Amino acid sequence: MLEDTKAFCSFTTDDVSKVQDFYSQSLGLKVSEDRGALWLDIGGGQRVLIYMRPGHTPASFTILNFPVEDIDRAVDGLTERGVHFERYAEFNADEKRIVRGEDRSIAWFKDPAGNVHSLVQETEPDAI
């Protein structure tokens, strides 16, 4: 019944213009505004909707994971663009705040609305 639908995910923000600059300038994603909401084009024909919500509460879990081939290069590049990577006490992160594991390495960051995202590098490139 839904196998051919083009599903998309969405999440909220408290300021569309502030997150628009972050996603377009800091992350380098293609963004478009539509009726006060923001669409992110994340590649492969996939889109994500970000919309205003009164009383917005940031997601306390990872809502977008960005697979990368070289996490060190990606973290360095985003850090140069002003993205701050998080350190969580329950994970042993290195000086770049990357948690390195046998199967994958991951680095978390937040958007200006406080929503959590990550960069992920799989040891096996086709694992994601």
- What share of the chain has pLDDT > 70, as a percent? 96
pLDDT tens for each residue of 111-128? 999 999 999 999 865 555
What's the pLDDT score for residue 126?
58
The per-residue pLDDT of the chain, averaged, comes to 92
Residue 7 — pLDDT band, cuts 50, 70, 90?
Answer: confident
Place of tokens 């590649």: 43
Residue 3 — pLDDT band, cuts 50, 70, 90?
Answer: confident
Structural domains of the chain sorted by starting position, each given as residue range(s) with its CATH number in brackets:
9-127 (3.10.180.10)
The candidate with the shortest Cα–Cα distance to 125, out of 65, 68, 64, is 68
Q: Under 8 Å CB-to-CB from 48, ≥6 apart: which residues?
A: 8, 9, 10, 11, 39, 40, 42, 64
What's the pLDDT score for residue 107?
98
* Span 18-44, average pLDDT: 93
Q: Which residues of 59-77 are buried (b: 16+ CB within 10 A; e: fewer)?
A: beeebbebbbeebbebbee
- What share of the chain has pLDDT > 90, as a percent? 80
What's the pLDDT score for residue 2?
85
What's the pLDDT score for residue 125?
58
